[in-house]
Amino acid sequence: MKNYPINLVGRALSSTIVIGGGEVAARKVEGLLDAGAQITVISPTLTPDLQLLADSGRIAFTARPYREGDLSGAFLVIAATGDSEVNLSVWREAKRCGCLINVVDDPRHSDFITPAVVRRGEMSLAISTGGSSPALAHRLRERLESLIEPEYGPLTEILAELRPELIDHFSPGEPRFQAAFRMIDSEILNILRTQGKEAALTYGRERLHRQ
């Protein structure tokens, strides 16, 4: 299971409630699903993307507004209704129940802030403005997504596979770091793009043994 950006796993993600079914809620759900969460969304309506997730069974869906008592048994809560009064009611119940809560665009009523995250396989880059401007974090994420190509996901897997050999061949500290940097700065990414993962892995292994 991947970690959620606040590094909560296990029980936290197995009992997650999202209040709200709009675009912001959809982005929160996407990040939670990437982390392996079991999610119940409570909202009168859903965005098309959330509806597809509900129809496929990837999320549970309760088709009505939030009610007192909806957080029973929850550990992690996202309040994303777009209505500040409803969000505040969710926050009050979360405090009574001992739930961790993120109220969207309201750091004062949030126990944690979720950064904007760029994911490439096992690699994650998180951008946070400390709650000051989620919109800025979102824009920066979009820019990073255009710079960091999808191939960085399989590249991370290749480097993980080569890591035991790197450790065997190079002393700890600077020699090992420099060897890793030479690998990353080599043609390995271009070979991955043009010839595929197996060719890149073979290239990486041969280069490593020549160093």
CATH code assigned at 15: 3.40.50.720
Residues 110 and 192 in one domain: no
Are 20 and 82 a contacting pair, CB within 8 Å? yes
Domain, as residue range, for 59: 11-114
Closest CA to 119 of 107, 127, 111: 127
What mean pLDDT is predicted for residues 160-179? Answer: 92
Does residue 108 sit in the same domain as residue 156? no
Q: Where are the beta strands (DSSP E) in 35-75?
A: 39-42, 60-62
| 163 inside domain | yes
Q: What average pLDDT does range 117-139 have in this prediction?
A: 80
Q: Indicate whether 25 and 108 sit together in one domain.
A: yes
Based on the domain organization, do 104 and 159 belong to the same domain? no
More confident residue, 37 or 113: 37
Tell me if 113 sits within 8 A of 146, measured CB to CB: no
pLDDT grade for 122, boundaries at 50, 70 and 90: confident
> Could you tell me if 106 and 50 lie in one domain?
yes
In a domain, 48, yes or no: yes
Which of these three, 90, 114, 138, is where a domain ends? 114
Burial class (CB in 10 A: 0-12, 13-18, 19+), 126: middle
Say whether pTM exceeds 0.85: no
Residue of 73, 79, 50, 80 lying closest to 63 (CA atoms): 50
**Residue 104: inside a domain:** yes
| Relative orientation angle of helices 197-210 and 188-195, to the nearest 10 degrees | 150
pLDDT at 114 over 90: no
Query: In the chain, how many domains are there?
Result: 2
17 strand-pairing partners: 40, 77
Do residues 83 and 177 both lie within one domain? no
Q: So what's the pLDDT on residue 9?
A: 42
For the cut 70, the answer to whether the pLDDT of residue 191 exceeds it is yes
Q: Say if residue 109 is in the same domain as residue 166.
A: no
79 lies in the same domain as 160? no
pLDDT at 80: 96
Checking if the pLDDT of 40 tops 90, the result is yes
What are the structure tokens assigned to 36, written together? 């392996």
Among 87, 114, 141, which residue terminates a domain? 114
Q: Is residue 190 part of a domain?
A: yes
User: Residues for the chain: how many in total?
Assistant: 211
Structural domain contains residue 121: no
How do strand 116-120 and strand 123-127 relate by DSSP bridges? antiparallel
Could you say which of 86, 114, 142 is where a domain stops?
114
Q: What is the pLDDT of residues 44-88, one digit of tens each?
A: 999 999 999 999 999 999 999 999 999 999 999 999 998 999 999
Is residue 74 included in any domain, yes or no? yes
